[in-house]
């Protein structure tokens, strides 16, 4: 994580220098200021700075992870991620209804009013599918 934090700090500086260079290049080439591209590249710099700050802060609190140690084995980084129900159909329905809600931007708002309640049902089902008793499925 230490290397990743340093990499994102490097990218932060690179994006800000790149945004300034882009603004100067556009002004000299086209004779005017172009705010959209300059702002987009500068936003990359801000995003990279947020990631760098978070990663460095996490590294300071957590300490070195197995990826940072030279004497670490592969199995040192293998940890429990979480429990996922292998028989669950809720992620499929949630993805389907969420894509319908997103497609409403292109098709029409009427589709959103159909898809949004279905998304809520799928989210509730996905969250509470393991809360119906011991080994219930």
Break the chain into its structural domains and give their ranges: 2-71, 90-128
Mean of pLDDT values over 126-134: 75
* pLDDT at residue 128, rounded to an integer: 82
pLDDT confidence of residue 62: 85
The more confidently predicted of residues 67 and 134 is: 67
How far is residue 70 CA from its own chain's centroid?
29
C-alpha–C-alpha distance, residues 119 and 37, integer Å = 35
Residue 120 backbone zone (phi > 0: left; psi -120 to 50: alpha; other: beta): alpha
28-76 pLDDT, tens per residue? Answer: 988 888 889 999 999 999 999 999 999 999 888 888 888 778 888 878 7
The pLDDT value given to residue 52: 96
pTM confidence score: 0.56
Q: What is the pLDDT of residues 69-118, one digit of tens each?
A: 888 887 877 777 667 777 889 999 999 999 999 999 899 999 999 999 99
Helix (H, G, I), strand (E, B) or coil at 87: coil
């Amino acid at each position: 994580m230490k290397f990743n934090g340093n990499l994102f700090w490097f990218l932060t500086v690179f994006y800000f220098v790149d945004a300034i260079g882009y603004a100067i290049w556009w002004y000299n080439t086209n004779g005017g200021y172009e705010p959209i591209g300059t702002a987009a590249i500068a936003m990359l710099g801000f995003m990279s700075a947020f990631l760098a700050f978070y990663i460095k802060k996490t590294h300071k609190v957590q300490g070195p992870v197995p990826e940072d140690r030279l004497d670490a084995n592969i199995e040192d980084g293998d940890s429990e991620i979480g429990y996922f129900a292998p028989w669950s159909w809720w992620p499929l329905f949630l993805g389907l209804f969420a894509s319908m809600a997103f497609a409403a931007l292109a098709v029409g708002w009427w589709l959103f009013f159909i898809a949004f309640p279905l998304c809520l049902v799928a989210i509730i089902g996905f969250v509470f599918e393991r809360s119906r008793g011991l080994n219930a499925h």
